[in-house]
């Protein structure tokens, strides 16, 4: 168990479903060799989970209609966006995907745009 797992900066509010069913104890890093184990200095760690209390998810995730995709940054998919989407299954959980679809469709309807979401499947790969 990580020594700082209950330190103030390591705690965020999350719903029970996200925390227990999806995040669990996962805390992926861009470079596992930089994981802080014996020290309180976590400054070298580059977490691959978005921390919405310190950074904007839109820096890492974009929408294609109602489907979330990693933002392309310097020609590369944002790994942080990709891992956050995959870890929390943000495109695979019917309840949240259908809410986004309804929102997308009602927005288009409100602006007079008659488009309907196609169902698209995003490859859910973890490398």
Residue 15 or 126: the one with the smaller Cβ distance to Zn ion is: 15
Residue 16 or 119 having the CB closest to Zn ion: 16
Task: Select the residue interacting with Zn ion from 6, 13, 15, 43 (CB under 5 A).
Answer: 15
Shorter beta-carbon distance to Zn ion: residue 42 or 96: 96
- Token duo for residue 62: 């974009």
Contacts 24+ apart (CB under 8 A), 11-14: 12/51, 12/52, 12/53
Query: By CB under 5 A, how many residues form the interface with Zn ion?
Result: 2
The region of 3-11, 17-25, 50-58, 117-125 touching Zn ion under the rule CB under 5 A is 17-25
Total number of residues shown for the chain? 127
Can you tell me the distance from the alpha carbon of 36 to that of 119, in angstroms, rounded to the nearest whole number? Answer: 41
In Å, what is the CA distance from 100 to each residue of 8, 27, 33?
Answer: 32, 26, 37
**CB closer to Zn ion out of 14 and 102:** 14
Residues ≥6 apart with Cβ < 8 Å to 46: 29, 30, 31, 34
- Contact between 31 and 48 under an 8 Å Cβ cutoff? The reply is no
Which region, judged by CB under 5 A, interacts with Zn ion, from 15-23, 26-34, 37-45, 93-101? Answer: 15-23
Instruction: Choose the binding region for Zn ion from 9-17, 47-55, 63-71, 114-122 (rule: CB under 5 A).
Output: 9-17
Distance of closest approach, residue 21 Cβ to Zn ion, in angstroms: 9
Binding site for Zn ion (CB under 5 A): 15, 18
């Amino acid at each position: 168990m990580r020594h700082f797992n209950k330190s103030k900066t390591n705690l965020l509010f999350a719903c029970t479903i996200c925390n227990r069913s999806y995040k669990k104890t996962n805390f992926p890093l861009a470079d596992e060799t930089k994981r802080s184990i014996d020290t309180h200095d976590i400054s070298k760690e580059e977490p691959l989970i978005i921390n919405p209390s310190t950074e904007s998810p839109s820096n890492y995730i974009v929408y294609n209609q109602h489907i979330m995709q990693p933002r392309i940054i310097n020609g590369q998919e944002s790994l942080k966006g990709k891992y956050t989407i995959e870890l929390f299954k943000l495109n695979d959980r019917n309840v949240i995907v259908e809410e986004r679809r309804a929102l997308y469709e009602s927005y288009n309807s409100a602006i007079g745009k008659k488009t309907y979401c196609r169902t698209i499947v995003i490859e859910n790969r973890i490398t």
